[in-house]
Amino acid sequence: MVLDKRLQPIVQSPDLPQLLEDLKQIWEEEQQRRLAFYDWVTPDMKAEFIEGEIILHSPVHKKHNAVTGAVYMLLNAHVLHHRLGFVGIEKIMLRFRRNDYEPDVVFFGPEKAASLIDSQTLFPPPDLIVEVLSESTENRDRGVKKQDYALHGVSEYWIIDPDTETVEQYLLNGREYRLQPLKESGLLESVAVPGFSIPVRAFFDPELQMKMLKGEA
């Protein structure tokens, strides 16, 4: 067995048995708080459970909302037209092994989408996650979320900055993400969503969005 380097300090400690007991207690108490979170959270709240803590989200700026809506609209139009699966926006709570997230936009391919039911409130890891940055969420979007999404096999992850009007496309490479350079033409070509290729500018330009939806661009 190859020892994970993250475990070495614990395994090499003479206090290993007590550390294991302490970790077990921490985990059990955290999961009790998680169950209480499920009972407490309501459909009108945007909240996440991350590393044992409840994270409440403040109202978003208009620009953040506009970009999120544009991503959903363009992606969902393509997915519906080609019958590729299911696209969700904002209030889709994803249950990971430890944490629960509500990303801005998610996509489930045909296989995963087929297992979803209309009354579902907790969802498995999807095939694509999109996070639109805000000042209060950027550290988590680039930190624990990025790491956790990769560990759970989310094949593609976009980080969109509404202020700089840029998109970072990350593709899964083993258990980590690799930044995928965008085309010189400014096109974003998804791997998780077959056939979805779009100018990054479309996420920020309402006129271009309409042209894309009408098939004029």
Q: What is the pLDDT of residues 18-55, one digit of tens each?
A: 999 999 999 999 999 999 999 999 988 899 999 999 99
What span, in angstroms and rounded, lies between the C-alpha atoms of 57 and 108?
24
Q: At 185, is the pLDDT very low, low, confident or very high (cuts 50, 70, 90)?
A: confident
In the predicted structure, residue 61 carries a pLDDT above the cut 80: yes
Based on the number of CB atoms within 10 Å of its own CB, is 63 exposed (0-12), middle (13-18) or buried (19 or more)?
Answer: middle
What dihedral do alpha carbons 145, 149, 150, 155 form, nearest 10°? -140
Query: What number of CA atoms fall less than 13 Å from residue 205's CA on the CB side?
Result: 12
The per-residue pLDDT for 215 is 83
CA distance 188 to 83: 20
Residues 79, 107 contacting (CB under 8 angstroms): yes
pLDDT digits (tens, 9 = 90+) for 131-178: 999 988 999 999 999 999 999 999 999 999 999 999 999 999 999 999
Q: Is the pTM of this model over 0.75?
A: yes
Structure tokens at 111: 């296989």
Percent of the chain having pLDDT more than 90?
Answer: 82
* Sole residue written with tokens 């409840």: 54
Q: What is the pLDDT of residue 1?
A: 62
CA distance 186 to 204: 13
